[in-house]
Homo-oligomer: A and B are copies of this chain.
């Protein structure tokens, strides 16, 4: 008996595909709310802002869930993607660092929506420890290990100052955490097997500035005035 299924799904969905699945899921949820029963790859791709061939190939990595001539069943696809992403279980998230950003994250609605639950807020500043934010008590960083264990936290969000991030990371990793979302502007060094995702506002701005400069250069000076640095004559 030939196990056709495994052909597509057997261990390993491309990373680029994984990064787009949440996008598809969001688009599908919108369609579900609007009462759509099925959707074609063309329409879904449009809503998600990608090319339809790419969408089909992405979905084909999960399995063969479409119907030729018809499209994809919206609810069924939502279920499949959710399951693949692990959103059918719920994840307890701890936010470390309750400054402006940590507060914003704690209050961010889209967080809880699907699968994620803010289970703890921690900070080192005695001034904010004990505050009630988004229905949670802010706890002292000394409690970090205990809180992680007690609440079954499996994802940690770092919203601390840069100087504290590595230290906190080391502690949560020692406690068995292997998934970290880091907002602090530092390169964390972590052992094999720990997943770090980094969100860095100033890097995003710098990338924009690069392109913006290119655009305005093209308008005005142009390529000719490319070499206007002080010294540095190169051949």
Contacts and interface: CB of A to CB of B under 8 A. Distances in A.
A111 B26 contact: no
Interface of A is mostly: helix
A23 interface: yes
11 contacts: A5-B227, A63-B234, A79-B229, A86-B212, A91-B212, A99-B104, A105-B201, A113-B202, A116-B209, A155-B205, A155-B212
A206 interface: yes
Given A201-B110, A207-B18, A48 B187 contact: yes
Interface string A158-202: 000000000000000000001111000101010001010101111
A179 B211 CA distance: 8
Interface of A: 2, 4-5, 9, 11, 18-19, 21-23, 25-27, 47-49, 63-65, 76, 79-80, 83-87, 89, 91, 93, 99-101, 103-105, 107-108, 110-111, 113-116, 154-155, 178-181, 185, 187, 189, 193, 195, 197, 199-213, 215, 223, 226-227, 229, 232, 234-235
A48 B189 CA distance: 10
B19 A203 contact: yes
Contacts of A200: 22
Contacts of A49: 187, 189
A10 to B, nearest CB: 8
Counting chain B CB atoms within 10 Å of each CB, the highest count among A86, A105, A115 belongs to A86
Given A23-B187, A86-B209, A199-B201, 11 more contacts: A9-B226, A22-B202, A22-B203, A22-B207, A48-B187, A65-B232, A79-B229, A100-B100, A116-B205, A155-B205, A195-B211
